Amino acid sequence: MTVEAFDAVEVIAAKRDGHRLSTAQINWVIDAYTRGTVADEQMAALAMAIFINDMEPEEIADWTQAMIASGQRMDFSSLSRPTSDKHSTGGVGDKITLPLAPLVAVFDVAVPQLSGRGLGHTGGTLDKLESIPGWRADLDNAEILRQLEEVGAVICAAGSGLAPADRKLYALRDTTSTVECIPLIASSIMSKKIAEGTAGLVLDVKVGSGAFMKDLDTARRLARTMVDLGTGAGVRTSALLTDMSTPLGLTVGNALEVRESLEVLAGGGPADVVDLTVALAEEMLRLAGRSDVDVRAALADGRAMDVWKKMIRAQHGDPDAPLPRAEHTEVVTAPATGVLSHLDALAVGVASWRLGAGRARKEDPVQSVAGIELHSKPGDTVTAGQPLLTLHTATPERFPRAVDALEDAVEIDGDTSGLRDSVVLETIT
Ligand code: URA
């Protein structure tokens, strides 16, 4: 029988009483939880104690390292090019990874984007790409390395071997109201990204109604914590704080967002999506030592599109096949004439989820075709009765609940002081 180094009850009591946990306590509790010796209810109590009493920077770094040590680490040191990746804390209409990964790869920087599926109102990158006929999310490590060497960019499912402690803990936090906690979010995200083995990492920390972080101060604290964790672990890390008070671009939902990403790769697309793609690409390239390149030109002249096509084909997708379209649509019109002062990201995200674009539980299927098209953005002048949103779904019985979610989403001629000129609010290095 293994003699355990600590007692879970004592570790929980220490955090409950506001004490700092030692490196040895943290290493033990994460390992014992992964092994199943620490029970779910004990980890749930500890997570709540952390939620209430916070953690010091050293504790967060130890917690992150212990979660990394619970699984395997990828190693890209054999590649002939440097690696740089991006992680978004999640938003509505956030399709940026799709044009970004091939764009960065144009400049001989490899992008190992190991992604997840969407949960709740934020969409998952893999769900979006799975609307492309034939496309495969699951690659083994040898396939990932080969694709990075040959194409330069890969977007695929993160294997279950990376930070398994986080996988277990994140599911538990989801059911115990302990998700919105900076030490736990920062260690969860960074354990996966550090285990992924990228040399450079840009964090896109979303701020606003559609994001985890509703205000700038909390977003700044999360960004600072993650940048320090990455830098402390030897990953060149920086963060952009970006606006998520309204959806990004003009589409929300899987196939709709792929269509918009293709517009960006063809040199067009909505300005906020293009600007954020370019800002993140420039930052990823800077971290990889490539600051002297014209990123916008690679969108305009088709080089990023060429890499996209290779990337999709390498994963058995057909980049030229038509994307699926919804059989049923319903239009929501502007209730008044004036300046659209607010179009709420969270409400649009929830409505799109109710149309079938997102899932409530990990194992739920998603509809490729479901989602919402925006016809106006905050700051535009609209006329009463003109189409504001088009809702898409394969299952029209979903329309009423989606329309309910949008009840307070639209504000016309309200306070315009919150309208932002730029989607990028701050950079943290
Ligand atoms: N995303 C993660 O991976 N972990 C969190 O805790 C929150 C968002």
Q: Which residue has the tokens 């016309």?
A: 412
Average pLDDT for 137-164: 94
CB 281 within 8 A of CB 104: yes
| 19 and 136 share one domain | no
170 in contact with ligand 1, CB cutoff 6 A:
yes
Q: What is the enclosing helix (H) or strand (E) of 105?
A: helix 97-105
Q: Is a pLDDT exceeding 90 seen at residue 418?
A: no
In a domain, 64, yes or no: no
Q: Which residue has the tokens 């764009």?
A: 103
Question: What percent of the chain is predicted at pLDDT more than 70?
Answer: 99
CB 213 within 8 A of CB 348: no
Q: Is a pLDDT exceeding 90 seen at residue 379?
A: yes
In a domain, 382, yes or no: yes
List, for residues 313-367, the tens digit of each pLDDT value. 999 999 999 999 999 999 999 999 999 999 999 999 999 999 999 887 777 889 9
pLDDT category at 384 given cuts 50, 70, 90 is very high
The catalytic position among 131, 188, 238, 368 is 188
In a domain, 428, yes or no: no
119 in contact with ligand 1, CB cutoff 6 A:
no
Supply the pLDDT for residue 159: 84
| 144 and 237 share one domain | yes
DSSP state of 3: P
| 314 and 332 share one domain | no
The catalytic position among 15, 62, 70, 87 is 87
278 CA → ligand 1 middle, Å: 25
DSSP state of 110: B
The catalytic position among 15, 192, 220, 259 is 192
Examine the fold and report which residue of 275, 299, 320 is the final residue of a domain before the chain moves on.
320
Secondary structure of 262-331 in the HEC alphabet?
HHHHCCCCCHHHHHHHHHHHHHHHHHCCCCCCCHHHHHHCCHHHHHHHHHHHHCCCCCCCCCCCCCEEEE
| Residue 188 annotated among the catalytic residues of the structure | yes
CB 302 within 8 A of CB 267: yes
In a domain, 427, yes or no: no
| 121 and 187 share one domain | yes
Q: In angstroms, how far is the first alpha carbon of the chain from the final one?
A: 48
| 248 and 354 share one domain | no
Q: What is the enclosing helix (H) or strand (E) of 283?
A: helix 271-287
CA–CA distance from 260 to each of 93, 249, 332 (Å)?
Answer: 10, 8, 20
| 123 and 36 share one domain | no
Rounded-to-5 percentages of helix, strand, coil across the chain: 45, 15, 40
Q: Is a pLDDT exceeding 70 seen at residue 1?
A: no
Average pLDDT for 213-229: 96
Examine the fold and report which residue of 320, 344, 371 is the final residue of a domain before the chain moves on.
320
Burial class (CB in 10 A: 0-12, 13-18, 19+), 115: buried
Q: Is a pLDDT exceeding 80 seen at residue 2?
A: no
Q: Is a pLDDT exceeding 80 seen at residue 375?
A: yes
410-412 and 338-343 strand pairing: antiparallel
In a domain, 63, yes or no: no
Nearest CA to ligand 1 atom 2: 189
> Is the pLDDT higher at 28 or at 117?
28
pTM, whole model, 2 decimals? 0.96
Supply the pLDDT for residue 326: 98
83 CA → ligand 1 middle, Å: 22
Number of domains comprising the chain: 3
CATH classification of the domain holding 404: 3.90.1170.30
387-393 and 328-333 strand pairing: antiparallel
In a domain, 73, yes or no: no
CB 206 within 8 A of CB 244: yes
Question: What percent of the chain is predicted at pLDDT more than 90?
Answer: 90
CA–CA distance from 29 to each of 7, 169, 193, 231 (Å)?
Answer: 9, 12, 21, 25
Measured CA to CA, the distance from residue 405 to residue 354 in angstroms comes to 8
Supply the pLDDT for residue 250: 98
| 124 and 204 share one domain | yes
In a domain, 314, yes or no: yes
In a domain, 263, yes or no: yes
Ligand 1 atom closest to Cα of residue 192: 3
Average pLDDT value for the chain? 95
| 339 and 315 share one domain | no
pLDDT category at 409 given cuts 50, 70, 90 is very high
Listing from the earlier edge strand, what are the strands of the sheet with 251-252?
Answer: 251-252, 371-374, 387-393, 328-333
Q: What is the DSSP string of 365-424?
A: ---SS-EEEES--TT-EE-TTSEEEEEEES-GGGHHHHHHHTTTTEEESS--TT--S-SE
312 CA → ligand 1 middle, Å: 26
| 336 and 378 share one domain | yes
| Residue 177 annotated among the catalytic residues of the structure | no
List, for residues 76-108, the tens digit of each pLDDT value. 999 999 999 999 999 999 999 999 999 999 999
169 in contact with ligand 1, CB cutoff 6 A:
no
185 CA → ligand 1 middle, Å: 5
Ligand 1 atom closest to Cα of residue 116: 3
67, 68, 175, 189: residue to mutate for ligand 1 pocket, most atoms within 8 A of CB: 189
The catalytic position among 166, 204, 243, 344 is 166
CB 173 within 8 A of CB 63: no
35 CA → ligand 1 middle, Å: 21
189 in contact with ligand 1, CB cutoff 6 A:
yes
Sign of the C-alpha dihedral computed for residues 60, 62, 65 and 69 taken in this order: negative
pLDDT category at 119 given cuts 50, 70, 90 is low
The catalytic position among 128, 173, 220, 359 is 173
CB 28 within 8 A of CB 5: yes
- Residue-range definition of the domain harbouring residue 339: 328-412
Nearest CA to ligand 1 atom 5: 185
Supply the pLDDT for residue 174: 83
Enumerate residues 6+ apart whose C-beta is below 8 A from 322. Answer: none
> Is the pLDDT higher at 335 or at 118?
335
| 289 and 405 share one domain | no
| 312 and 356 share one domain | no
| 149 and 123 share one domain | yes
pLDDT category at 419 given cuts 50, 70, 90 is confident
CB 55 within 8 A of CB 183: yes
173 CA → ligand 1 middle, Å: 10
Q: Which amino acid is at 54?
A: D
- Nearest alpha carbon to residue 374 among 344, 338, 398, 394: 344
| Residue 173 annotated among the catalytic residues of the structure | yes
